[in-house]
Amino acid sequence: MRSNATEQDCVFCAIARGDIPSDSVYSDDQVVAFRDINPQAPSHVLVAPRRHVASVNQLKDDGELLGRVMSVAVTVAQAEDLAASGYRLATNHGRDGAQTVPHLHVHVLGGRALSGRLG
Ligand code: 5GP
Ligand code: ZN
């Protein structure tokens, strides 16, 4: 299938392909995880599907991939040793959700006490 312009230009597609370097912490045939370039906490990892999906809003009917991404997010949190102290999983959609990269990703955040404020 021919990629559309969005995929061609997509930074996380390029990271998943290995065309842009990243600090990878996990990779399988469907999902990649890599450290955020501008970390907001001592552990800040992004978990993304390999295939281009604009945001979680596109995955209403693909619980399997959504489940894979969330499962990897938990795997990463445990590997970062965050389970005992706690961690946050977050995903943003669209303008009001403050999404800046239009390729679905779940933030894994931990390693300090996070603010209870979510917006
Ligand atoms: P959003 O605001 O879309 O939920 O989060 C996008 C995240 O991607 C931000 O936390 C930002 O720091 C991170 N980011 C943007 N470009 C890159 C990049 O090229 N490499 C990595 N590792 N993270 C990036
Ligand atoms: Zn993409």
Query: How many A from CA of 7 to the centre of ligand 2?
Result: 5
The confidence band for 5, taking pLDDT boundaries of 50, 70 and 90, is low
The reply to whether 105 belongs to the active site is yes
> What is the atom index within ligand 1 of the atom nearest the CA of 92?
4
Q: Look at residue 2 in the predicted model and tell me its pLDDT.
A: 54
| Annotated catalytic residue within 44, 52, 93, 105 | 105
Helix (H/G/I), strand (E/B), else coil: 90: strand
CA distance 83 to 88: 10
Span 27-79, pLDDT tens digits: 999 999 999 999 999 999 999 999 999 999 999 999 999 999 999 999 999 99
